[in-house]
Structure 1
Amino acid sequence: MNSTRQNNKGFRPRKLALSLLSVLALHSPLLLAQDDDTQTSESTGYDVSDWDITKPPFALTDVEINTDETTWSSLDIAPNGKYFLFDMLGDIYRADIDGGKATALTEDFAWNIQPAISPDGSKVAFISDRDGVANVWVMNADGTELRQVTKEKNNIIHSPKWSPDGQYIVVTKGIMSSRSIPAGEIWIYHQAGGAGLPIKERVNGKRDQQNIADPVFSHDGKYIYYTQNTVPGARFEYNRDPLEGIFAITRFDRSTGEANRYISGTGGAV
């Protein structure tokens, strides 16, 4: 699989290298505050307040990657069983279920991951940071007509999954408290957008460090299943007893609003 990027002037570098360059540039002492609203790089004259992840204002270098392997990739199989989608190095690819060449559905400098195909196969929900924070975006199955669904500015959205009717998307919302790793909540959004509704908020409020994550609808749409930390208290603990269980699967009944532990036991379940 050829993983190079191309624009009007030729190939673009892999975003991994660009991300490092961007971080160095944004933390450079050459960035001088001109007023409360604008920061301009002395070397480039670029207005940082107008930063666009997909249009970095730097000289580009060609980097080509050819591979037939990928690790730490999210995968989803089309409802018709003919193809699958996966993410690799921040782009989403489509490949035939029998193998062969993968085709990129996204080719830009945003970090695009965790594709989820709609039940009718016409849309793909995925996570992208193209607006500055990890949010849910939706595109057509061929990679066209991207539109933003969630518009979080402070919290991290991930793990989108469609409802069986294709109208809703359930996600994990990672929220920072006093720990460097965000604690999760389960939220549901209409595929057209909006503020969303919480399905399962943090048990111990804003100080909670325990995680609730990875929601998915049942095939009939009556339930939402998710993983929940079962260790008592608000603090995350590394040294936990697996014999008592660490995580369990909870089932949320959409008609009654009740949530009950569904699968648990020694070691736990996710």
Structure 2
Amino acid sequence: MRIVRNSESRRAGFLALTTLLIGVTTPTSVTAKGLAPVVPPSGVTITTKEGEMPSWVIPNIGEAAESYYGPDSEHLIAQVKSPLAVKSPRGLAGFLTKTFTDAGTDVVLINDKGWDACSYFFPDGKKLIWTSIRDHLDMPLGNWSDWRNYPQGSELYTSDREGKNVTRLTNNTQYEAEVTVSPDGKWIVFGRMTDGNMDLWIMKADGTGERQLTFTDDDQEGAPYFLPDNETIIFRAWKASEYDLKPTPMTIYTIKKDGTDRKTRTFTHDMNWAPYPTPDGEHFLFVRAETQRNWEVYLGYLDGKTPPKRITFDEGFDGFPAISPDGRKMVWTSSRSAGPGVGFMQGLQLHVMDVTSLDLGPKQSRGKK
């Protein structure tokens, strides 16, 4: 089904489509009253996979990894495969930071050299933060996906929306990545490897006042994100002693920004990975490995009582979920569009799902159109 009609027709058609899907989509048992479905971009193909809410592939972007919405709930930032990036030891193209809309328009290249990783918007929408090895091209490239071989030359940078006015926040030969910003724009939280051990660190938005949040020998913490309260950080950790188990068991936790009140948020010995908090402050998205080659997105509950709900239903890789600030759209990375014969976690593309029916938006705007 292709949506190519005008705005009002698309809204009516998508509303009807969403209504039909409610009976077959597990998560829609939690519905949002008074919220119209998301109007998808003109010309995209809407997927109606059984068990899922409606979704589309972001066009014109190509292969990409994790992506995050900006404050307008329309623009995204991601690392995208680029011929300008350095190549891997096997000659594969690397990734660089870009911004774009979830319609695949307004594409801006933020950095044009090196190899980039995690990136994020500041809440004012004018400033970006991103990870790159651009200033350490003399060092071994390493592997962003292998804890034993993380790129030791990765640094944190800020810039404006055009990739100009670049400021380097860190200056060392340690792995620093997995960086995000608090909703009030005052704090930056990130992962840093020192002496082979991963921990969470925090600093002020200008790069000053660095301090370590976690101090664990076996646990390897990363992927930190602030909850809407600007005080609580959700993250995942695995144990170095279990790293060779596949899929590697991981646990999701929360901690206060002063390093206190660490709480467990997942309670299985599965790979519980890639958490992302929802704007309502009551839930979080995360990825669970059903098998070694089938990873799915779930909705978790911070009440510690309600079992998680499965969001994606596709054999293969579904990961890196994030939600728009208005709580209506989930962006995630999937191999489902890669075609036959493509390896696991290869040919990844960005997808957007209409999750309006889950009612995950900010509390003050719930129920508003």
For residues 156-167 of structure 1, what are the structure 2 equivalents within 5 Å? 156-167=220-231
Look up the SS of the partner of 1:259 in the other structure: coil
Identity of aligned residues (%): 20
Question: Quick one: which of 153, 178, 183 aligns to 2:217?
Answer: 153
CA shift for structure 1 position 103: 1.1
User: What is the deviation of 1:71?
Assistant: 3.0
Indicate conservation of the 8 Å contact 2:265/2:304, yes or no. Answer: no
Farther off after superposition, 92-101 or 246-255: 246-255
**How far does residue 266 in structure 1 lie from its aligned partner after superposition?**
2.2
Larger radius of gyration: 1
Structure 2 match to 1:97: 161
Structure 1 residue 252 corresponds to structure 2 residue 300: yes
The one-letter code sitting in structure 2 at the alignment partner of 1:185 is T
Match for 1:219: what amino acid? Answer: P
Is 1:143 aligned to residue 172 of structure 2?
no
1:78 aligns with 2:126: no
* Distance in 2 of aligned mates of 1:247 and 1:139: 32
Aligned equivalents of 1:251, 1:120: Cα separation in 2: 24
User: With structure 2 as the length reference, what TM-score do the two structures score?
Assistant: 0.47
Structure 1 residue identity aligned to 2:203: M
Secondary structure at 1:194 match in 2: coil
In the alignment, the residues of structure 1 paired with residue 155 and residue 187 of structure 2 have an alpha-carbon distance, to the nearest angstrom, of: 16
1:263 is displaced (CA, Å) by: 0.9
C-alpha deviations, 1:198-220, integer Å up to 9, x for none?
111333xxxxxx42100011011
The answer to whether the 8 A contact 1:247-1:264 is kept is no
Q: Distance in 1 between matches of 2:243 and 2:169?
A: 37
In the TM superposition, 1:11-22 aligns within 5 A as none
| Distance 1:130-1:178 versus aligned 2 partners, 3 A rule | closer
Q: Is the contact between residue 159 and residue 215 of structure 1 (CA under 8 Å) also seen in structure 2?
A: yes
More contact order relative to length (CA 8 Å, sep ≥ 6): 2
Task: Report deviation, 1:194.
Answer: 2.7
For the aligned residue pairs, the C-alpha RMSD in angstroms reads 2.1
Task: Give the AA of the match of 1:252.
Answer: G
* Partner Cα separation in structure 2 for residue 215 and residue 127 of structure 1: 14
Matches within 5 A, 1:1-270: 68-89=112-133, 90-130=154-194, 133-175=197-239, 176-177=241-242, 179=244, 182-194=248-260, 196-203=262-269, 210-231=270-291, 237=292, 240=293, 246-255=294-303, 257-267=305-315, 269-270=318-319
Count of residues paired in the alignment: 186
In the alignment, is the contact (CA less than 8 A) between 2:296 and 2:314 conserved in 1? Answer: no
- The change in CA–CA distance for 1:134 and 1:161 in structure 2 (over 3 A counts) is same
Q: CA offset at residue 101 of structure 1? A: 4.1
Distance 1:195 1:223 in 2: 18
Indicate conservation of the 8 Å contact 1:128/1:136, yes or no.
yes
Q: Output the amino acid matched with 1:201.
A: F
In structure 1, C-alpha distance between the alignment counterparts of 2:192 and 2:243, rounded to whole Å: 25
Contact 1:160 1:171 in 2 (8 A): yes
Deviation of 1:172 after TM superposition, in Å, equals 1.0
Instruction: Tell me the alpha carbon deviations over residues 209-243 of structure 1, each in whole angstroms, 9 at most, x when there is no partner.
Output: x4210001101111011100123xxxxx4xx5xxx
Task: Give the TM-score of the pair, scaled to structure 1.
Answer: 0.63
Give unmatched runs, 5+ long, in structure 1.
1-66, 204-209, 232-236, 241-245
